[in-house]
Amino acid sequence: MEAIRKNTFTVLLVLVGFSAFSQSMSSLQSAFSKSYEAENTKNYITAISELKSVYDPDNYVINIRLGWLNYLAKQYTESIGFYEKSIALKPYAIEARFGCVKPLSAIEDWEKVKKQYLEILTIDPQNTIANYWLGVIVYNRKDFNSSAKYFEKIVNLYPLDYDSVIMLAWSKLYSNKPSEAKVLFHQALIIRPNDSSALNGLKLIP
């Protein structure tokens, strides 16, 4: 009889726990639904408010969503904070790092943008987006040897990607490798005939 009572009590605890979980999930789904509706009408503050009503600091999905909504609302400091919480919760998820790049770029904190791209490449070395934009950052800093390495990774994967081919061509030219640059400028002209950037690059090569 005692065993039956214990089993009954355990079942009741499970049912209570399941009921609480169901209510919690229902509230979360409702808040997300309302936040999407508000976002669609560009009412970002309302969208943020809906999620904050069910905010859980340990919930990755809420934090990354709040990072995005605060970015749209141009509340960049808040956006970065939520993205950083998301990164801390799931350090190997690159979507939060890409998200964090947006408000960091908005405030022109290029060192932290660069750091996020480097972290992404540590997790996913072949990531073409991170390689490309990291290449652009170091290219603009006139570190052409480094930019060539990043663009070359993409060109090896996607030889017909114009943007990467042309950036690699200019990187090679400015790092004193004119013969390699010439081949790449001609490759760019195959991808995009009469391309002005490629033609201008060829004019600089004897």
Interval 21-51: pLDDT, tens: 444 778 889 999 999 999 999 999 999 999 9
Over range 188-194, report the average pLDDT: 98
Share of the chain above pLDDT 70, in %: 89
Kindly tell me if the per-residue pLDDT of 4 is higher than 90: no
Among 72, 99, 124, residue at a domain's last position: 124
Q: How many domains does the chain have?
A: 2
Which residue carries 């030219």 as its tokens? Answer: 173
- My answer on whether 31 and 119 are in the same domain is yes
- My answer on whether 114 and 147 are in the same domain is no
Specify the pLDDT at position 3. Answer: 45
Among 124, 145, 165, residue at a domain's last position: 124
Give residue 12's pLDDT band: very low, low, confident or very high (50, 70, 90).
very low
- My answer on whether 193 and 203 are in the same domain is yes
**How many CA within 13 A on the CB side of residue 6?**
3
Kindly tell me if the per-residue pLDDT of 5 is higher than 60: no
- My answer on whether 154 and 114 are in the same domain is no
Q: What is the pLDDT of residues 96-131, one digit of tens each?
A: 999 999 999 999 999 999 999 999 999 999 999 999
Over range 157-176, report the average pLDDT: 98
Among 124, 145, 170, residue at a domain's last position: 124
Mean confidence (pLDDT) of the chain: 91
Q: At residue 14, what are phi and psi to the nearest 5 degrees?
A: -65, -45
Eight-state DSSP code of residue 192: S
Kindly report the CATH number assigned to the domain that includes residue 34. Answer: 1.25.40.10
- My answer on whether 41 and 69 are in the same domain is yes
What is the residue range of 100's domain? Answer: 1-124
124 in Cβ contact with 115 (< 8 Å): no
116 in Cβ contact with 101 (< 8 Å): yes
- My answer on whether 93 and 157 are in the same domain is no
Kindly tell me if the per-residue pLDDT of 20 is higher than 80: no
Which residue carries 């060829």 as its tokens? Answer: 202
Specify the pLDDT at position 27. Answer: 86
- My answer on whether 108 and 144 are in the same domain is no
